[in-house]
């Protein structure tokens, strides 16, 4: 009896499986996209940007909270610069000292020029008197040597001026470095975005490159999905696309194909059979136009799932968009909160 029951159970399972397969093939609704189109599941994504401290130091203030919308150039956080300000004052004093050294060196040049002029004048007089037999040749040679020494002293004095000026340049470069470090202690928003995380709090000490905030960049909002090789080969960067998100299924958001992977993923490197070639999957990215994102910047959310549609090129050209995806550019989108539309 037990054996007959087991056989009956196996036959029942097989019958159920065959019935499901028949329903799937003949009775289930056709969920394939229309001819000339392809689609894939994905989610709205945007790049993450870590706002980090360039130098180690203490966080003085953070001006934003998680969820805040920021514009490029907004001050997000400020690091403590008390030590850098002290270094700046010391550098200013060093510049003043170096400039004073330049003035002293220039005075030495003037003194050396005066000594050289006097020595050259004495040489001329000694040569005149030597021709008259008043000054012996030995005295004339001494005067000429003194003039040569004065000329060498002048060259050394001028070199001292140049060295003093280079010292001023070095001190000014050090000041510029300190001022750059002070400027880097104010952390600005590099792009339009939303604050995702506050990774530090005022008073905390972070190291060089320590993360203070993480932003979601809203300058490049996109959806990534995968298509088989047969569809990816008919796509080009710049082709039109549509995005339909789950929370607003009746709205088609226009997008543009911005990336087609140059090689397949999740497949072996060497593909020999036709079945394997048809299973190749390529990563595709469609980007929502930045102007459309800016118009609805307060409502843009990442992580929302949906479907991306692309139109495939063929020998007969491009097919018209299916119903619900036809508007070339949506200027009004349904508001999920009110059930109506918003600009």
Q: How far is residue 246 from each of residues 6, 19, 292, 324, measured CA to CA in Å?
A: 45, 32, 19, 14
Distance of CA 283 to the CA centre of its chain: 23
Question: Is residue 18 very low, low, confident or very high in pLDDT (cuts 50, 70, 90)?
Answer: low
Distance from C-alpha of 188 to C-alpha of 180, rounded to nearest angstrom: 14
How confident is the model at residue 330, as a pLDDT? 46
How confident is the model at residue 233, as a pLDDT? 84
Distance from C-alpha of 77 to C-alpha of 63, rounded to nearest angstrom: 6
Question: Is residue 13 very low, low, confident or very high in pLDDT (cuts 50, 70, 90)?
Answer: low
For 127-170, the pLDDT digits (tens) are 888 888 888 888 888 888 988 998 899 899 999 999 999 999 99
Q: Which has the higher per-residue pLDDT, 322 or 54? A: 54
For 188-206, the pLDDT digits (tens) are 999 999 999 999 999 999 9
Structural contact between residues 265 and 283, judged by C-beta atoms closer than 8 angstroms: yes
Distance from C-alpha of 219 to C-alpha of 70, rounded to nearest angstrom: 12
DSSP 8-state symbol, 309: E
How confident is the model at residue 68, as a pLDDT? 94
How confident is the model at residue 341, as a pLDDT? 38
Percent of the chain with pLDDT over 70: 79
Per-residue tokens: 206? 């972070």
pLDDT for 340 beyond 50: no
Structural contact between residues 24 and 162, judged by C-beta atoms closer than 8 angstroms: no
One-character DSSP codes across 49-87: EEEE-SS-EEEEEE---TT-EE-TT-EEEEE--HHHHHH
How confident is the model at residue 173, as a pLDDT? 96
Per-residue tokens: 222? 């996109």
For 196-237, the pLDDT digits (tens) are 999 999 999 999 999 999 999 998 999 999 888 888 888 889
Mean pLDDT of 38-66: 93
Handedness of CA 137, 142, 146, 151 (dihedral sign): positive
Structural contact between residues 256 and 218, judged by C-beta atoms closer than 8 angstroms: no
Q: How far is residue 53 from each of residues 43, 68, 206, 277, 329, measured CA to CA in Å?
A: 31, 20, 7, 48, 41
Average model confidence (pLDDT) for the chain? 82
Mean pLDDT of 251-277: 70
Structural contact between residues 183 and 54, judged by C-beta atoms closer than 8 angstroms: no
Q: Which CATH architecture best describes the domain 32-46+219-342? A: Beta Barrel (2.40)
For 267-314, the pLDDT digits (tens) are 555 544 445 555 678 889 999 998 888 888 888 888 889 999 998 876
Report which of 235, 229, 232, 224 is spatially closest to residue 308, judged by C-alpha positions: 224
Mean pLDDT of 64-88: 95
Distance from C-alpha of 41 to C-alpha of 281, rounded to nearest angstrom: 13
How confident is the model at residue 334, as a pLDDT? 39
Report which of 293, 304, 283 is spatially closest to residue 221, judged by C-alpha positions: 293
**17-31, 36-50, 119-133, 269-283: least confidently modelled range:** 17-31
Structural contact between residues 243 and 223, judged by C-beta atoms closer than 8 angstroms: yes
Mean pLDDT of 320-329: 64
Per-residue tokens: 294? 């800016």
pLDDT for 35 beyond 90: no
How confident is the model at residue 333, as a pLDDT? 41
Pick the CATH number of 51-80+186-211 from 2.40.50.100, 2.60.40.2550, 3.40.50.2300, 3.40.640.10: 2.40.50.100
Mean pLDDT of 256-266: 83
How confident is the model at residue 313, as a pLDDT? 76
How confident is the model at residue 342, as a pLDDT? 37
Where is 277: in which H helix or E strand? helix 274-278
Question: How many C-beta atoms surround the C-beta of residue 187 within 10 A?
Answer: 21
Structural contact between residues 213 and 198, judged by C-beta atoms closer than 8 angstroms: yes
Rounded to 5°, the CA angle 65-70-73 comes to 120
For the chain, what are the domain ranges? 32-46+219-342, 51-80+186-211, 82-184
The model's pTM is: 0.68
Q: Which has the higher per-residue pLDDT, 317 or 271? A: 317
Question: How many C-beta atoms surround the C-beta of residue 202 within 10 A?
Answer: 12
155 conformational bin, left if phi > 0, alpha if psi -120 to 50, beta if neither: alpha
């Amino acid at each position: 009896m037990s054996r007959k029951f087991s056989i009956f159970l196996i036959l029942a399972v097989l019958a159920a499986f065959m019935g499901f397969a028949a329903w799937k093939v003949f009775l289930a609704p056709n969920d394939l996209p229309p001819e000339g189109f392809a689609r894939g599941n994905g989610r709205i994504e945007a790049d993450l940007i870590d706002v980090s401290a360039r130098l180690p130091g203490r966080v003085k203030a953070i001006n934003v909270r998680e969820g805040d919308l920021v514009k490029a150039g907004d001050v997000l956080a400020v690091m403590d610069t008390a030590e850098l300000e002290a270094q700046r004052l010391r550098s200013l004093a060093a510049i003043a000292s170096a400039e004073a050294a330049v003035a002293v060196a220039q005075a030495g040049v003037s003194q050396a020029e005066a000594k050289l002029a006097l020595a050259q004048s004495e040489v001329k007089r000694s040569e005149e008197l030597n021709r008259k037999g008043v000054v012996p040749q030995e005295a004339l040679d001494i005067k000429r040597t003194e003039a040569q020494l004065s000329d060498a002293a002048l060259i050394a004095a001028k070199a001292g001026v140049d060295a003093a000026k280079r010292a001023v340049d070095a001190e000014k470069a050090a000041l510029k470095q300190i001022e750059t470090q002070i400027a880097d202690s104010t952390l600005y928003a590099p792009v339009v975005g939303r604050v995702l995380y506050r990774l530090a709090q005022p008073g905390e000490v972070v190291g060089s490159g320590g993360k203070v905030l993480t932003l979601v960049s809203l300058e490049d909002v996109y959806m990534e999905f995968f298509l088989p090789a047969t569809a990816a080969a008919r796509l080009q960067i710049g082709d039109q696309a549509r995005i339909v998100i789950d929370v607003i299924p009746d709205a088609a958001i226009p997008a543009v194909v911005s990336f087609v992977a140059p090689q397949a993923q999740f497949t072996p490197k060497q593909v020999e059979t036709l079945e394997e070639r048809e299973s190749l999957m390529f990563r595709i990215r469609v980007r929502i136009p930045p102007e459309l994102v800016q118009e609805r910047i307060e409502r843009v959310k990442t992580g929302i799932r949906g479907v991306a549609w692309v139109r495939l090129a063929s020998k007969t050209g491009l097919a018209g968009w299916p119903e619900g995806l036809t508007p070339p550019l949506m200027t009004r989108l349904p508001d999920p909160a009110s059930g109506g539309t918003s600009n």
